[in-house]
Amino acid sequence: MSEPRIRRAWSATGVRARATLVSVMVVGTVLLLGLFVLADRTESRLKDSIVAATETRVIDVAALAAAGGLGEDVVTLSSNQLIQVIEQGRVVAASPGLQGVAPLAVIDVAPGITERIEVAEAVFEAVEEQVPFVEDESPYVVIAGGFASPDGPGVVLVASSLSPAEAAVNALRPLLWIGFPITLAAVGATVWFLTGWALHPVEAMRKEADAISAAALSRRLPVPESQDEVRRLADTLNRMLDRLEGASVSQRQFVSDASHELKTPLATMRTMIEVAEHDPDFDGWPDLLAGLKREDERIEALVTDLLTLARYDEGAAGGTRQEVDVDQVLGRVAVRTARTAPEVVVDGSGILPARVLGNAAALERLFWNLSLNAARYGSSRVTLSSRVTGRSVTVRVVDDGPGIAPGDHERVFERFVRLDDGRGRDAGGTGLGLAVARAVARSHGGDVRIVHSTPGTTIEVELPALR
């Protein structure tokens, strides 16, 4: 199977199955290595104990030989043990059955010293042929110990079979191999159960999320009682659903308001055309064309503001950033406002030099929207000012109109909000000017807020100063 197919097959399995499989594989690998190490270490320790017991037996027999307390037969502690006491090259005492058997080895060892020696396997094969009850074909460990008796120096040879160690390990291995699959099955079942238990809240969240649609955004995912990552995930997803629901409500309201705002000038244009169409003597074409143009400009302004807000919502309306002289931009806005609203006095004496990093066209639109709004609702005077305060540039637009109630200071920045609908429409407003102004300011790292409104209104723009 190719690697991509393996990856697809692996990805197709569930988290529960993957966790169980990986756990079983890891535990199985570790357990398998542990079994080999355990068997090897057990056999090694058993052989070490046989060597130690053999050396102890050599010391005991050598002590008896030195004291002259041995007969021809030497009692062995195990049927797997062979003993020879050698003096002057001949066997003077041996374990049962070894009388008359040639020495296993010819070696001189100083009295009181023990050492392990190597004896050829052929020697033990010869012993097995001469002694009927010696049939052990396993390796032997041979320890030699020297002694000094009244008859002269001698050597004690004790050979112990290593078959008990091998037999013990051979008996242990089947038990280990039986326990191996049982342990893996227990680990797999445990991981399967615990993973399923841990993923149960996630599955409940999945089912609930699957049932949530655009028509049922008010539903929320179940939150488990445990204080863990799953609960934090549920809380995060529910907060996301809160934002999506809010965005959906705003979108529906936005579409509804936009439809209503577009329907009004379109209805006006259609009425004007129908009047002209049904009046054979209609001669007010100049006024009709002027009215159609006025409504067309209103539609164009509304669509332009909608597109601008949409781009800012998507974060794609930043434009090219460069050094902008705020005082020069405000000067152009003051001249434009005075030309557009000649009935009010535009005071720009408070405009002081200030520079920011931003998009000049967007900033001019920001200040123009605020200035035009002030001219619409002011009684006779609009004041523009700018100054640098610390690390910020502060721009103020002040009018002497009726003001805005404190409870409406934030609401006026919402889309299609007019505190005086009739007045706003007569003046040609779209209800989006302040919303666009705030969007531009925030895209430049600043903000717009109302700081005073009794009477008159003071709108303050704060932008990061260029350093």
* CA distance linking residue 206 with residue 230, whole number of Å: 12
Could you tell me the pLDDT band of residue 324, with boundaries at 50, 70 and 90?
Answer: very high
The reply to whether 220 falls in a domain is no
pLDDT at 5 over 50: yes
Does residue 59 sit in the same domain as residue 181? yes
Nearest-Å Rg of the Cα atoms of the chain is 51
DSSP calls for 250-318: HHHHHHHHHHHHHHHHHHHHHHHHHHHHH-TT---HHHHHHHHHHHHHHHHHHHHHHHHHHHHHTT---
Determine the average pLDDT of the residues in 51-63: 89
Identify residue 23 by its one-letter amino acid code: S
177/420: higher pLDDT: 177
The reply to whether 69 falls in a domain is yes
| CATH number of the domain to which 458 belongs | 3.30.565.10
Does residue 170 sit in the same domain as residue 269? no
Token digits of residue 288: 């009709």
Does residue 288 sit in the same domain as residue 330? no
The reply to whether 218 falls in a domain is no
Decide which of 184, 211, 238 is a domain's last residue. Answer: 211
Does residue 41 sit in the same domain as residue 174? yes
Measured in residues, the chain has a length of 467
Decide which of 283, 310, 337 is a domain's last residue. Answer: 310
Q: Residue 391 is part of which domain span?
A: 319-464
pLDDT at 234 over 80: no
Nearest CA among 411, 419, 416, 420 for reference residue 449: 411
> So what's the pLDDT on residue 399?
92
- pTM of model > 0.85: no
Does residue 10 sit in the same domain as residue 60? yes
Nearest CA among 331, 446, 318 for reference residue 391: 446
* Secondary structure, 3-state, 213-239: CHHHCCCCCCCCCCCCHHHHHHHHHHH
Does residue 236 sit in the same domain as residue 155? no
Where is average pLDDT lowest: 81-90, 298-307, 444-453?
Answer: 298-307
* CA distance linking residue 200 with residue 206, whole number of Å: 10
Does residue 325 sit in the same domain as residue 206? no
- For residue 455, cis peptide bond before it (omega within 30 degrees of 0): yes
Could you tell me the pLDDT band of residue 407, with boundaries at 50, 70 and 90?
Answer: confident
> So what's the pLDDT on residue 138?
67
Determine the average pLDDT of the residues in 270-294: 81
Determine the average pLDDT of the residues in 406-431: 67
The reply to whether 222 falls in a domain is no
5/46: higher pLDDT: 46
Element at 160 (helix H, strand E) = strand 152-161
Whose tokens are 């302040």? That residue is 434
The reply to whether 223 falls in a domain is no
- 8 Å CB contact between 31 and 186: no
pLDDT in tens, 329-365: 999 999 999 999 999 999 999 999 999 999 898 899 8
- 8 Å CB contact between 437 and 449: no
Decide which of 310, 334, 367 is a domain's last residue. Answer: 310
Does residue 389 sit in the same domain as residue 261? no
Rounded to 5 degrees, what angle do the CA atoms 50, 76, 57 make? Answer: 50
* CA distance linking residue 402 with residue 438, whole number of Å: 22
Q: What is the count of structural domains for the chain?
A: 3
Where is average pLDDT lowest: 213-227, 284-298, 322-336, 411-425?
Answer: 411-425
User: Rounded to a whole number, what is the distance in angstroms from the first to the last CA of the chain?
Assistant: 63
Determine the average pLDDT of the residues in 54-64: 88
> So what's the pLDDT on residue 325?
94
Determine the average pLDDT of the residues in 172-183: 82
Does residue 28 sit in the same domain as residue 152? yes
* CA distance linking residue 67 with residue 43, whole number of Å: 36
25/123: higher pLDDT: 25
The reply to whether 216 falls in a domain is no
> So what's the pLDDT on residue 383?
93
Where is average pLDDT lowest: 82-91, 335-344, 350-359, 415-424?
Answer: 415-424
* Mean pLDDT across the chain: 81
The reply to whether 447 falls in a domain is yes
Where is average pLDDT lowest: 93-97, 210-214, 286-290?
Answer: 210-214
Does residue 245 sit in the same domain as residue 384? no
Does residue 146 sit in the same domain as residue 183? yes
Rounded to 5 degrees, what angle do the CA atoms 399, 402, 405 make? Answer: 105
387/101: higher pLDDT: 387
Does residue 144 sit in the same domain as residue 30? yes
Taking residue 416's Cβ as centre, other Cβ atoms within 10 Å add up to: 19
Could you tell me the pLDDT band of residue 423, with boundaries at 50, 70 and 90?
Answer: very low
- 8 Å CB contact between 119 and 28: no
The reply to whether 49 falls in a domain is yes
- 8 Å CB contact between 48 and 54: no
Q: How much of the chain exceeds pLDDT 90, in percent?
A: 19
